Amino acid sequence: MCGIVGYVGDKKAAPILYDGLKKLEYRGYDSSGIAVNDGFKIDIVKKKGKLDQLEGSLKKNTNGGTVGIGHTRWATHGKPSDLNSHPHCDCSKDFVVVHNGIIENFQKIKKRLKESGHNFKSETDTEVIAHLIEDNYDNNLLKALKATVNELDGSYSLTILSKYEPDKIFVVRKDSPLIIGVGEKENYIASDIPAFLSKTKDFYILEDNELAVVSSGKIEIYNDSLDLIKKELYHVDWDPEMAEKQGYEHYMLKEINEQPDAVRRLMSKRVTPGGINLDELNLDSEFLKNLKQIHIVACGTAYHSGLIGKYLMEELLNIHIEVDVASEYRYRNVLIKEDDLVIVVSQSGETSDTLASLRMAKKHGAKILAFTNSRGSSIAREADHVLLLKAGLEISVASTKAYLNMVVAFYIFSLYLAEKQNKIETKRLNKLSNDLIRLPDLLEQVIKDSESLMKERAKQYVKKQNAFFIGRHTDYTLALEGALKLKEISYIHAEAYPAGELKHGTLALIEKGVPVVALGTRKFIFEKTLSNITEIKARGGDVTAIVYKGAEGIEKVVDHVIYIPQIDDLFGGVLAAIPLQLLAYNTAYLKGCDIDQPRNLAKSVTVE
């Protein structure tokens, strides 16, 4: 949520900052702003709306300074407006701040500062930070910044300009990501790597309560006691082209088409015809052999992948699996034991509720395994063991390739654990491993086969206000993800239900023409799902079924059929995810929605 950029070097800062913010648009925002310091004054330009609104004002109202900071804001305190946009400054404009996160005690601080003579212009929590720095400043900005954050309750990553040290940018983080990119006679600051991936592949990743002073030729990083520390430089192996659309109209469509390669990367050296190799996790064999309970904790799409993991592990391992939404898990009286495994799932590795759940589980002594797409993220650093998703850079807010890699990661780990616990025969393991290896090629086939079909189906959905998704077993978890994709980017109300639950209330909503997607990839329970489909058809529902090629008689029962290739019954859901993504994409496209940046949503949710 929100985006921070900073630049200090020998080039004009404003265009570099603007370009960096463009690269962070996927994080979600409703306003933007840039501040540039030329050594004499700090110019601030900020606008409500998209970055295009800011661009014209930048050329007219910013100096040619080579030091600056920028921000895209997602409103938390105060409505979207020019005044509430970042950057914010103190009374004399000596200190200018951009901020990601939430200051929980800002009202108390604001009241005190107003009583002592400070004048406030905005409704935001962030503005108190600039005034507090002004109040604490005594010819040492680093100490003033440290004194300031000592008074703050909440989460923050802060980037500060000052007229007193015009050639430097000061930064600090707590519970909100911040990185420093290293260049040649220039350095960069950002909330995420894509902002400056075209400029550098070497970054320092700040940890909680670390502060830094950044100039064009030097980066000084301090711990919470203001002692200078040395940090390891993190080299990113992403290609800058990953941050571009490469001819696709939207990032989401590009990322849907990248899924076969993403799955190949995930499985490389981990899945072989002879089985599963996850020695990289360094999980103790005795611990795995005796494991009796697993908690899976995540948010949104990642939570849906965890639900598939639950079904898989219960089916293969016959042990207790608990799946929770992280924002609920962290406040429950969860019965965690020291010999439990907690799997946390997060694409960014910075999801606030998931990170808090990780920390809570650690206090109870549980082992933590993270599925994440970001090697240097907070979750990756704090987990005991990490399974990197290797999905590559994902820009669109609506996750596709990261979700699919999360699902496949659960398949890989489930088979690995089944082998460790002697719950699967070698012949069965080898067959399933070979089917996993086939998945990327089959995914390519499904994308090709279903693209035009889902364009046609979207023409019907675009006219509707409601839609339903149904399935049983793992198909129900896919239904949840399909409904989420449709509503988050097309704004059509969509709900998912276990197919067997329809008769317990939901059938009251089925009438002539209501669109329903029915998933039927689990053969052992397909006949039951078919019975539920006939109940919908009897009430006039318009049913699209996603089933294996060769499903007998299905065309006589439903209105439309999307076929997926035959594969072991366990893996059908991976293939069925593709038509669901394409249905959502094409429906949103026909409605003219902002597909990559849907309203009110952000890619990385770093506030509670």
CB 605 within 8 A of CB 101: no
d(CA 403, CA 401): 5
d(CA 8, CA 367): 41
The DSSP symbol for 280 reads G
Q: Which two tokens stand for residue 232?
A: 């390891």
**Active site includes 603?**
yes
Q: Which residue has the higher pLDDT, 245 or 33?
A: 33
| 3-state secondary structure (DSSP) of residue 255 | helix
> Is the pLDDT score of 607 beyond 60?
no
Question: What is the per-residue DSSP string for 534-570?
Answer: HHHHHTT-EEEEEEETT-TTHHHHSSEEEEE----GG
Q: Which two tokens stand for residue 142?
A: 């680093």
Q: How far is CA 407 from the centre of its chain?
A: 15
What's the one-letter identity of residue 477?
T
In percent, how much of the chain has pLDDT > 90?
72
What's the one-letter identity of residue 374?
S
| 3-state secondary structure (DSSP) of residue 405 | helix
> Is the pLDDT score of 608 beyond 60?
no
- Of 381, 320, 331, 322, which Cα lies nearest the Cα of 360? 331
Enumerate the domain spans of the chain.
3-242, 245-424, 440-594
Neighbours of 477 (CB within 10 A): 25
Q: Which of 24-28, 349-353, 393-397 comes out lowest in average pLDDT? A: 24-28
| Residues in Cβ contact with 458 at an 8 Å cutoff, skipping those fewer than 6 apart | 583, 586, 587, 589, 590
> Is the pLDDT score of 75 beyond 80?
no
Could you give the dihedral angle defined by the CA atoms of residues 508, 472, 291 and 403, in that order, rounded to the nearest 10 degrees?
Answer: -90
At 148, the pLDDT band (50, 70, 90 cuts) reads very high
Tell me the CA distances in angstroms from 410 to 315, 348, 418, one per residue in order. 13, 17, 12
Q: Where are the beta strands (DSSP E) in 375-484?
A: 385-388, 466-471
CB 324 within 8 A of CB 295: yes
Are the folds of 245-424 and 440-594 the same? yes
Q: How far is CA 388 from the centre of its chain?
A: 14
In percent, how much of the chain has pLDDT > 70?
97
CB 522 within 8 A of CB 474: yes
Angle separating helix axes 300-317 and 401-420, nearest 10 degrees:
20
Span 440-594: which CATH code? Answer: 3.40.50.10490
Q: Which residue has the higher pLDDT, 506 or 449?
A: 449
Q: Which of 46-55, 85-94, 336-345, 394-403 comes out lowest in average pLDDT? A: 46-55
Q: Which residue has the higher pLDDT, 531 or 441?
A: 441
Q: Please give the helix or strand (H or E) that residue 293 lies within, else none.
A: strand 293-298
> Is the pLDDT score of 484 beyond 60?
yes
Quickly name the fold that domain 3-242 has: Glutamine Phosphoribosylpyrophosphate, subunit 1, domain 1 (3.60.20)
d(CA 397, CA 394): 8
pLDDT in tens, 256-295: 999 999 999 999 999 999 899 999 999 999 999 999 999 9
Tell me the CA distances in angstroms from 476 to 442, 450, 470, 522, 586, one per residue in order. 22, 21, 6, 10, 22
d(CA 266, CA 262): 6
Q: Is 263 exposed, middle or buried (0-12, 13-18, 19+ CB in 10 A)?
A: buried
| 3-state secondary structure (DSSP) of residue 160 | strand
What mean pLDDT, rounded, does the chain reach? 91
| Residues in Cβ contact with 121 at an 8 Å cutoff, skipping those fewer than 6 apart | 83, 88, 127
> Is the pLDDT score of 242 beyond 70?
no
The DSSP symbol for 100 reads E
* Per-residue pLDDT, 61: 72
Neighbours of 512 (CB within 10 A): 8
CA angle 126-175-351, nearest 5°? 110
At 243, the pLDDT band (50, 70, 90 cuts) reads low
Angle separating helix axes 401-420 and 426-461, nearest 10 degrees:
160
- Of 524, 533, 526, 582, which Cα lies nearest the Cα of 552? 526
Catalytic residue among 2, 89, 299, 593: 2
* Per-residue pLDDT, 221: 97
Q: Where are the beta strands (DSSP E) in 373-459?
A: 385-388
* Per-residue pLDDT, 146: 96
Q: How many CA atoms lie within 13 A of 353 on its CB side?
A: 17
* Per-residue pLDDT, 606: 54
At 507, the pLDDT band (50, 70, 90 cuts) reads confident
Q: Which residue has the higher pLDDT, 257 or 192?
A: 257
Q: Which of 84-88, 191-195, 234-238, 459-463 comes out lowest in average pLDDT? A: 234-238
Span 245-424: which CATH code? Answer: 3.40.50.10490
CA angle 245-246-248, nearest 5°? 65
Catalytic residue among 46, 390, 420, 603: 603
At 234, the pLDDT band (50, 70, 90 cuts) reads confident
d(CA 305, CA 324): 11
| Residues in Cβ contact with 303 at an 8 Å cutoff, skipping those fewer than 6 apart | 323, 325, 326, 345
Handedness of CA 190, 192, 194, 198 (dihedral sign): positive
At 187, the pLDDT band (50, 70, 90 cuts) reads very high
pLDDT in tens, 544-567: 999 999 877 788 889 999 999 999
CB 602 within 8 A of CB 177: no
Angle separating helix axes 106-115 and 127-136, nearest 10 degrees:
50
Q: Which two tokens stand for residue 306?
A: 């965890």
**Active site includes 89?**
no
* Per-residue pLDDT, 369: 98
Q: Is 72 exposed, middle or buried (0-12, 13-18, 19+ CB in 10 A)?
A: buried
pLDDT in tens, 450-468: 999 999 999 999 989 999 9
* Per-residue pLDDT, 334: 80
> Is the pLDDT score of 98 beyond 80?
yes
Instruction: Provide the terminal-to-terminal Cα distance of the chain, rounded to the nearest Å.
Output: 11
Angle separating helix axes 127-136 and 141-150, nearest 10 degrees:
120
The DSSP symbol for 173 reads E
Q: Please give the average per-residue pLDDT across 163-186, as a whole number.
A: 94
pLDDT in tens, 311-335: 999 999 999 999 999 999 888 888 8
Rounded to two decimals, the pTM is 0.81
Q: Which two tokens stand for residue 95?
A: 């200190």
d(CA 198, CA 239): 9
